[in-house]
């Protein structure tokens, strides 16, 4: 069976077709059993049974058509487009998935736009297309050269979710973690950003609550990954978790040591105690406002890709 059609069964069942078929058969039996009983109620039973059977039949047909997977697309033709993460496995080759996760306002969407050099008119700021449910996550298909221009390239699907505090939003971040090969976990010391301050070199003190927010998030992420990777084996070990301590340009000089130590402690903790979750664990201090830092991150990702291949 081709890769495309292997998906058909699960997609068909996902659409609630099993209960619908059972309901259809049940009501057909109910309707038919009314035929020999020639009471005035028989046509009513027959009518109800027939209607339910008809609706179930229609439902099954519609689900059967909807479940046909999209054709396998050449990944190279999709560069520069947003794709729902469910479509990524219909590409040839399947792109390597790089996920940006972290609390709201850490700079995930800004990073996606800068990292992939998405033209402004194509920016989506990580928001889902209107009309889609919040569960639909999009990836931007991007090509990264791992040697100088003209060398080998790797097609990446870069995924950015919404980091709002609500449980529903957490679901998005964890869904990214579940799908990614390389996970970039973004942290910062303040939730403030350029949009509010309109200044590049503003010194913002450490938000202790903000650090606590990240610590709690990392704890939940760890539990989630442990559950998925170790126990259910639903997900394979991540290739790399790279931590990014963003908004360096807003650090106060006197806070540098504290923030570096806080960040180093997190990386050491994951390196020492979470080895089972990822093949590689690393981290860099970073600012989205620095083009040098964006390039440095590209190099980090490129080196990870080289080490995987």
Ligand X SMILES: Nc1nc2c(ncn2[C@@H]2O[C@H](COP(=O)(O)OP(=O)(O)OP(=O)(O)O)[C@@H](O)[C@H]2O)c(=O)[nH]1
126 binds ligand X (CB under 6 A): yes
83 binds ligand X (CB under 6 A): no
Residue with the CB atom nearest ligand X in the bound state: 193
Among 31, 102, 126, 193, binds Mg ion (CB under 5 A): 126
Least distance to ligand X, CB of residue 106, Å? 4
Count of positions (residues) in the chain? 309
Q: Which residue has the tokens 């396998």?
A: 72
Residue 203's contacts (CB-CB under 8 Å, 6 or more residues apart) are 250, 251, 252, 253
Whose Cβ is closer to ligand X: residue 59's or residue 243's? 243
128 binds Mg ion (CB under 5 A): no
Give the separation between CA 288 and CA 187, rounded to whole angstroms. 12
287 binds ligand X (CB under 6 A): yes
Among 20, 53, 90, 109, binds Mg ion (CB under 5 A): 109
Size of the site for Mg ion (CB under 5 A): 2
Give the separation between CA 170 and CA 197, rounded to whole angstroms. 27
189 binds ligand X (CB under 6 A): no
Whether the Cβ atoms of residue 36 and residue 116 lie closer than 8 Å to each other: no
Residue with the CB atom nearest Mg ion in the bound state: 109
Least distance to Mg ion, CB of residue 127, Å? 7
174 binds ligand X (CB under 6 A): no
Give the separation between CA 285 and CA 167, rounded to whole angstroms. 28
Q: How many CA atoms lie less than 13 Å away from 264 in the CB half-sphere?
A: 6
249 binds ligand X (CB under 6 A): yes
Residue 151's contacts (CB-CB under 8 Å, 6 or more residues apart) are 145
Among 45, 115, 250, 270, binds ligand X (CB under 6 A): 250
SS3 103: coil
Whose Cβ is closer to ligand X: residue 141's or residue 186's? 186
278 binds ligand X (CB under 6 A): no
Whose Cβ is closer to Mg ion: residue 50's or residue 164's? 164
Buried b (16+ CB within 10 A) or exposed e, 43-63: eebbeebbebbeebeebbeeb
Cα distances (Å, whole numbers) of residue 124 to 137, 161, 200: 12, 11, 23
104 binds ligand X (CB under 6 A): yes
Whose Cβ is closer to ligand X: residue 88's or residue 185's? 185
Using CB under 6 A as the criterion, which residues of the chain lie in contact with ligand X when the complex forms? 104-110, 126, 162-164, 193-195, 246-247, 249-250, 287-289
Binding site for Mg ion (CB under 5 A): 109, 126
């Amino acid at each position: 069976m081709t890769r495309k059609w292997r998906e058909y069964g699960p997609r068909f069942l996902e659409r609630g077709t099993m209960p619908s078929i059972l309901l259809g058969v049940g009501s057909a039996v109910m309707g038919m059993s009314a035929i020999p009983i020639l009471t005035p109620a028989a046509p009513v039973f027959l009518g109800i049974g027939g209607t339910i059977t008809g609706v179930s039949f229609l439902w099954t047909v519609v689900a059967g058509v909807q479940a046909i997977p999209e054709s396998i697309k050449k990944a190279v033709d999709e560069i520069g487009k947003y794709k729902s993460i469910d479509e990524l496995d219909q590409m040839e080759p399947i792109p390597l998935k790089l996920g940006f996760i972290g609390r709201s306002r850490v700079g995930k969407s800004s990073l996606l736009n800068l990292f992939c050099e998405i033209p402004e008119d194509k920016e989506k700021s990580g928001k889902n297309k209107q009309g889609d449910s919040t569960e639909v996550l999009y990836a931007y298909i991007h090509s990264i050269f791992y040697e100088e221009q003209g060398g080998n390239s790797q097609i990446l699907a870069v995924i950015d979710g919404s980091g709002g505090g609500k449980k529903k939003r957490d679901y998005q971040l964890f869904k990214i973690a579940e799908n990614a090969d390389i996970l970039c976990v973004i942290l910062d010391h303040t939730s403030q950003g350029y949009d509010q301050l309109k200044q590049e070199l503003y010194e913002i003190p450490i938000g202790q609550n903000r650090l606590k927010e990240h610590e709690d998030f990392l704890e939940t992420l760890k539990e989630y990954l442990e559950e998925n990777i170790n126990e259910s084996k639903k997900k394979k070990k991540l290739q790399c978790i790279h931590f990014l301590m963003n908004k360096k340009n807003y650090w106060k000089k006197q806070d540098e040591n504290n923030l570096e130590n806080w960040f180093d402690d997190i990386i050491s903790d994951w390196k020492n105690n979470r080895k089972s979750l990822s093949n590689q664990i690393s981290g860099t201090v970073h600012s989205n406002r620095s083009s040098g830092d964006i390039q440095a991150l590209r190099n980090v990702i490129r080196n990870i890709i080289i080490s995987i291949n």
